[in-house]
Amino acid sequence: MRAADPFPLVAALEALERWQQEPSGATQAVVARSLEGILSVVGANGAVLEVTAPPLPRLEVGVGSLSVIPPESERGALDRFTLATHHGHEVPLGRLFLDAPEGAVAPVVRTIEIAVDAAWSRAEVRDQAERLGALEQATRAVAAELDIDRVLRVIVERVRELVGARFAALGIADGRGRIERFISSGVSPEQRAGIGSVPHGMGLLGRIIREGRALRVDDIRSDPTAYGFPARHPLMTSFLGAPVWVKGRSVGNLYLTDKNGGDPFSDDDEHLVEMFAVHAGIAIENARLHDQVQRLAVVEERERIGKDLHDGIIQAIYAVGLSLEDVPELVEDAAGRVEAVARVDRAIDALNLVIADIRSYILRLRPSVGGKEDPVEQLVRLGEEVGMNAVIDLEVDLDSGADLFRALPPDRTSDLLFIVREALSNVARHSGATRMALVLAQEDDDLVLCVEDNGRGFDPSLQTGPDRLGRHQGLTNMRDRAVGLGGTFGIERPDGAGTRIIVRVPASPSAALGSVPPPGPETTNRD
């Protein structure tokens, strides 16, 4: 049989295909048998095949006289060949070591290289198809959202899944190139709170902002432009960043670190993120336009309500006031008292009509679905009110726990809203903070609520315990409500400054029936 006989080649290709679909000891044995078939045709003694070209799984298999694979230092006497593909551009596929007579070397090398090349090409086509399918799903998910906060959150989650990264973030920079908003994925609420403020746009992040192009680094720590990490920042190694553009202007930057499996990010990963960034930019712009339209509609509705109130209810109240102006004079004589009583009676009737009109306005202004305000929107409104009244910069991140929070029964959401209101009120009244964060997240089946500020913090000299906590009624009420929900309530002083309140409650109402845990390290000088 000649070396060009197709059957050993077909067997090797099928074996490598099985290895690509299910890398295991069993499929590696199938690859070994197919290599033995090739060697037997040309009379070769043994071979070691190494495949190191993703998306094919890594493979090292020895057959014949080399079934026990010799270490690298003992392969000097063997014939060594680099396998590569030659479709458009050369891609290294792996290495082949042979123990074979001179006349058998070329046929064996060519046959095995053809088999590996064909298996790699099939795997590459399949991988590209899966990537494009994932890209389509990701872009559809992003395009389906119109709320700007949800759009940003979905973009970060989807791009992390798309390239298989451990961490992902979307940074929004101001006109000076400093990051003013930072949405992350892969970091827990506690980790995020421990990191502190958003990045300033230095180092690698700043390079993408300044240069406006994609950037890929295999090891962040060895890059000369790296700025370093805060003390509690998770360790990160590889990095991939890409700008998000819309109509020639930057609307954000995507950052990814640590590809799953430990491999560095590839050219394909970079191209995929760049393609996704185009769709992400369009989605962000659409969400912003939708938000502007919604705000305009709110302004117009306020103006309409104000006009209606002025032309109707306010005028009616003004008329009642005019009708009562002469009553003090009328009650001075008997004849006038009858008229005074009549005017008062008419005024009461008129005011009752005004009250009915006000009630009608209130009913019309209530949300039509469910007859109550969305609890997540209530959280946002609480934070905005405190931020505006106390002039404190507010960062809100509620998306990852929003669905679970909405699914809670009304009495449980009411307790959590009370805790947030009290915590935010403490920040405004006592902390002297310039920044605060409100984070809502889901961890397994628990809902985690975190309120943090950069204010003066608590007094470390105070001792823990019910007697100390009892001096601060607001803190006592918050803790009692958290425990009543079957959860925990804790207060920390991150990095020696500020205050962090963390409430963790189970999503299941039945979990709230447990016993009350002893008080933890929840000491503070706040009320």
Check whether 2 has a pLDDT greater than 50: no
Residues 6+ apart with CB under 8 A from 438: 379, 383, 394, 395, 396, 397, 398, 420, 424, 450, 451
Using CA atoms, how far residue 211 sits from 178, 206, 240, 441, in Å, is: 14, 8, 14, 34
Q: Name the token pair of 154.
A: 């979905």
Residues 6+ apart with CB under 8 A from 460: 493, 523
Q: Return d(Cα 326, Cα 337) in angstroms, integer.
A: 11
Structure confidence at residue 228 (pLDDT): 65
Structure confidence at residue 181 (pLDDT): 81
Check whether 365 has a pLDDT greater than 80: no
Q: Return d(Cα 498, Cα 39) in angstroms, integer.
A: 71
Structure confidence at residue 314 (pLDDT): 72
Q: Name the token pair of 470.
A: 């009892």
Range in 124-138, 427-441, 465-479 with the lowest mean pLDDT:
465-479
Among 286, 186, 178, 281, CA closest to 236: 186
Q: Are 496 and 194 in contact (CB under 8 A)?
A: no
Sign of the torsion formed by the C-alpha atoms of 142, 144, 149 and 150: negative
Structure confidence at residue 394 (pLDDT): 83
Q: Return d(Cα 279, Cα 158) in angstroms, integer.
A: 12
Cβ neighbourhood burial of 8 (10 Å; 0-12, 13-18, 19+): buried
Other beta carbons within 10 angstroms of residue 343's beta carbon come to 17
Q: Return d(Cα 18, Cα 24) in angstroms, integer.
A: 9
Type of residue found at 441: A
Other beta carbons within 10 angstroms of residue 502's beta carbon come to 20
Query: What are 438's strand-pairing partners?
Result: 396, 451
What is the average pLDDT across 415-432? Answer: 82
Other beta carbons within 10 angstroms of residue 367's beta carbon come to 10
Structure confidence at residue 461 (pLDDT): 46
DSSP state letter for 69: P
Range in 156-165, 188-197, 273-282, 404-413 with the lowest mean pLDDT:
188-197
Using CA atoms, how far residue 476 sits from 417, 422, 465, in Å, is: 15, 11, 11
Other beta carbons within 10 angstroms of residue 219's beta carbon come to 12
Sign of the torsion formed by the C-alpha atoms of 204, 210, 211 and 213: positive
Q: Return d(Cα 72, Cα 220) in angstroms, integer.
A: 31
